[in-house]
Copies of this chain bind each other. A is one copy, B any other.
Amino acid sequence: MRLGVLTGGGDCPGLNAAIRSVVRHGNGERGCTLVGFRDGWRGVLEGHADELTSDDVRGILPRGGTILGTSGTQPHRVDGGVAKVREALEVHRLEGFIVIGGEGTIGEAARLDVPVIGIPKTIDNDIRGTDASIGFQTAAQIATDLIDRLYSTAESHNRVMVCEVMGRHAGWIGYTAGVATGADVIVVPEHPFDVDLACRRIREVHALHRPFSIVVVSEGALPVPGSMPIPDYALDENGYPRLGGVGAVVAEEIGRRTGFETRVTVLGHVQRGGSPLAFDRVLATRLGRTAVDEALARRWGSVIGIHGAKIDPTPIAEVQGTKTLPPELWRIPEVLCE
């Protein structure tokens, strides 16, 4: 069997581990031919493709990023894109694609109506059909390590340290890094942020417990409407928060209201780079292996996910929409559900 493989959307730790697994299992153990496309769907449209063997993926397991490159290109938005994808299937005599990507990249395959198996990756962890997506645990760990570092400087200077982490539509990184570091306030997109409550809690912490505090803010979180101003520069053209926008605004508002010295740190792109944790390497390896086996069985149209200890496929149709934090996670005092 001949199969295409590509990575799409934002990069994250573990993509290379997934590519390696698909190629080693597909080519090395099952004798398939794997054709790797450059830069996501763009490589399919533009014909940038190379056959990949086990030797091509040697040594990439612990490395961040993707040797295939990535892009957000969506063929159905490109003139003649859909036809070109079908053409690529024929030219390379592929039975289908293994697509390592987020909702956009995988959903695209469904729209194109070509045979596809999806492997879910996104540091935001907001893809349905899996307990965890590739890259999430590593990103949450990077954020945790860095917020740990902020504690000592918060403590030495009696400051409120506000730290903005990634999480545009879901607060998985913010929740995980916030709980893992014992943050006093955690702001997630799932629950509107009440700056009054936050300031009250911060004052209480400083008065009763220790004269400094840590606030973790998800990139895409917004306050209770009307409760505090969000300046235009903090939002993009669609009214969504910009990277760094909400963190800075929240820090300023807390500083203004409490009178405590407040500083903001925006973790940004470091959260998506570098060597993946063992968790993501093993997850990527297991998902890649099962993706190949599903393709060999010609059970197309699913996303491979982990559920508890098991690796299982879910039909793409059932994984539409964003997987947000369930209420049993965010209904904790730190998320200000007082």
Q: What residues of chain A have their CB less than 8 Å away from a CB belonging to chain B?
A: 7, 10-11, 13, 15, 20, 29, 39, 54-55, 58, 61-66, 69-71, 131, 137, 140-146, 148-153, 155-158, 161, 176-177, 179-182, 209-210, 263-270, 272-275, 277-279, 281-282, 285, 289, 307-309, 326, 332-333
- Name the distance in Å between A279's Cβ and chain B's nearest Cβ: 6
Residue of chain B at shortest CB distance from A63? B152
Q: Copies of this chain, how many?
A: 4
Find chain B residues with CB under 8 A from A269 CB. Answer: 149-150, 153, 161, 263, 265
How far is the CB of A94 from the nearest CB of chain B, in Å?
23
Set of chain B residues within 8 Å of A279, measured between Cβ atoms: 137, 141, 279
Flag if B181 contacts A61 (CB, 8 Å): yes
- CB < 8 Å: which of B63, B71, B152, B267 contacts A11? B152
Q: How far, in whole Å, are A279 and B263 apart by their CA atoms in the complex?
A: 27
- In the assembled complex, 24 residue pairs joining A and B whose CB atoms fall closer than 8 Å, in A order, are A7-B156, A10-B157, A11-B157, A13-B152, A61-B182, A62-B148, A62-B182, A63-B152, A65-B151, A65-B153, A69-B157, A140-B278, A141-B279, A142-B149, A144-B278, A149-B274, A161-B269, A179-B282, A179-B285, A180-B278, A180-B285, A263-B268, A265-B269, A279-B279
